[in-house]
Amino acid sequence: MKECMIVLSLTVPFPITGAYAHANSFTKLFVFGDSYVDTGNRNFTASSWNEPYGITYPGRPAGHFSDGHVFSEYFASWMGIKSPTPYRFREIRPIEYGMNFAYGGTGVFETLVAAPNMTIQIGLFEQLLEEKLYTEDDLKSSIALVSVSGNDYNAYIARGESLLGLPAFIVSVVKQLGLDLQRIHDLGVPKVVVMGIQPLGCLPEFTKEYSYEKCNETGNLAALFHNLLLTTVVEELKLENGESEFVMLDMYDAFMSAMKKHEDETGTSELKNTLRPCCTGITSEDSCGDVENGEKKYNVCIDPKMAFFWDSFHPTQAGWHAIYSVLKSSIANLFRTELWGSF
């Protein structure tokens, strides 16, 4: 986390640096979670700050776990605002569009990464509210975006826990996530959007044992169980708080649809392997971004914009754009608007 060449025939968006109009009534975004939405909170020892991360945008490492933009930036664009400033840069960058509290590698519980988990992230948000950094009026026009993409489960397996106990652990993860969603709402954010989990078994980390030719069924079943439980939790939150207060994004189907579209568009080309990542370690012990004695221990495909997956766990910017393209109409419907932002 062999070099690859994958064709992805879609238009990659222009950099998120231009002028923005507030496309609707939501003017602030508060982001919580992990690497699928983190835009720079991890410290400089994280792989997201190493080459070749950021090679597509902004052309250098910028703290994103991809070659360019990640999902939270696309969601901000749908809102018609700039991507919110990462928490660690709150004193040197504008905070008018909200704030990003997400830390790559984290989960609702403690994981293998020494960074703030979901509970602590929400605590950081609460502290800023106590400091009056954002007012009640600010919050009235805000949305929270929450990502839990599987780091809790990766940590569970890495610690040698039994697969037989995984279903019960998934129940505990989703239960805690539900408490976190309610807490964010209770702090004054009127709309809370939670991302369902993607098809875990289709991530390159779990398809490499099949030479990137097929997905791991066990991983996908775990993801489906997570999403089933989360759907129930979100419905309960709607009953308790209001039908329009909570939204769940179907990341599983969005990933599957985007990957199928990629496979169809590449046809019979030898470059059609959607599951093969663009950036991989030279050996099984190496990962994307690793350097040893000044020597790169990874390979990067010829053009990341043509690949769906960037590394062992994360889509490329082109992959995220494809996923967003699948989701944007459903997002608009969920929020009863057809304004999708500037991408």
Helices (H), the chain: 71-79, 118-130, 136-140, 151-158, 166-186, 204-207, 217-241, 251-266, 317-334
User: Rounded to 10 degrees, what is the CA torsion of 107, 109, 113, 114?
Assistant: 120
Q: Among 35, 48, 77, 312, which one carries the catalytic annotation?
A: 35
The alpha carbon of residue 147 and the mean position of all alpha carbons in its chain are separated, in whole angstroms, by 6
The CA-to-CA distance between both ends of the chain, in Å, stands at 29
Q: Among 311, 312, 321, 325, which one carries the catalytic annotation?
A: 311
Residues paired with 122 in a beta bridge: none
147 secondary structure, DSSP code: E
Taking CA atoms, 132 is separated from 89, 125, 241, 286, in Å, by 18, 11, 25, 45
Alpha-carbon gap, residue 25 to 125, rounded angstroms: 21
Q: Is residue 313 a contact partner of residue 205, using CB atoms and an 8 Å limit? A: yes
Amino acid at 84: P
Q: Would you state the structure tokens that stand for residue 19, as one six-digit string?
A: 């002028």
Tokens 């690793």 correspond to: 290
- Cβ neighbours of residue 290 under 8 Å, at least 6 residues apart? 281, 296, 297, 298
- Is 311 an annotated catalytic residue? yes
Q: Among 69, 226, 262, 314, which one carries the catalytic annotation?
A: 314
Among residues 199, 178, 222, the alpha carbon closest in space to that of 207 is found at 199
- Is 34 an annotated catalytic residue? no
Q: Would you state the structure tokens that stand for residue 214, as one six-digit string?
A: 């097929």
Coil, strand or helix at 247: strand
- Is 250 an annotated catalytic residue? no
Q: Radius of gyration over alpha carbons of the chain, in Å? A: 19
Alpha-carbon gap, residue 115 to 106, rounded angstroms: 7
Q: Which residues are catalytic?
A: 35, 311, 314
